[in-house]
Amino acid sequence: MQGISVREAKRQDLDFVFECLRRLAHEVGEAAHFVSSIEDVRRDAFGSRPHYEVLIGEWQGRAAGLATYFPIYSTYKGRPALYVDNLFVQDRARGVQLGRRLMRDVCALAEARGCCRVELKVLSGNPAQHFYESLGMSVSDERHYRIEGASMARLATQDS
């Protein structure tokens, strides 16, 4: 992993973080659903009460990738966990093990924080599935559900 370093993101990384998130959404075919603004990233990653944290991966002295993550909790295990929401490496740094190093450092943080696991979700058909399996990650038997928009609003206001 020569020439690679990982560090916590700083407020000066705002533009880089936003551009990586936008680019990742485009690459995985989710560009139409990417509505986050740079102000959202400023508030939610770098504000006074951040909702997620960001690690910046550098290669050859320049930012080249990131991992975003946030705490979750396992009531079954009685311990916290970390959820990796995004892992992105720029084209110029692919193949140099930057993604592996970012995931290694997320796992090191999880260990230091007493977490029982690190989780993430991969869109079906995403070739990154093989990468995650090569790290020792396994596919969960769980199925993710979501509710959003009008359906969420409707349920939130229904009478019992």
Instruction: Tell me the domains of the chain and their CATH numbers.
Output: 4-156 (3.40.630.30)
Residue 128, CB-side half-sphere exposure with 13 Å CA sphere: 17
Contact 137, 103 (CB under 8 A): no
Q: How far apart are CA 42 and CA 36, in angstroms?
A: 11
Query: pTM of this prediction?
Result: 0.91
What does the DSSP 8-state code read for residue 12?
G
Burial class (CB in 10 A: 0-12, 13-18, 19+), 115: buried
Backbone region of residue 119 per phi and psi (left: phi > 0; alpha: psi in -120 to 50; beta: other values): beta
Strand partners, 68: 54, 86
Per-residue pLDDT of the chain (160 residues; tens, 9 = 90+): 689 999 999 999 999 999 999 999 999 889 999 999 999 999 999 999 999 999 999 999 999 999 999 999 999 999 999 999 999 999 999 999 999 999 999 999 999 999 999 999 988 777 888 889 999 999 887 878 889 989 999 999 998 6
Beta strand residue intervals within the chain, DSSP E: 4-8, 53-59, 62-74, 79-89, 118-120
Residue 159 has what pLDDT?
A: 85
Residue 105 has what pLDDT?
A: 97
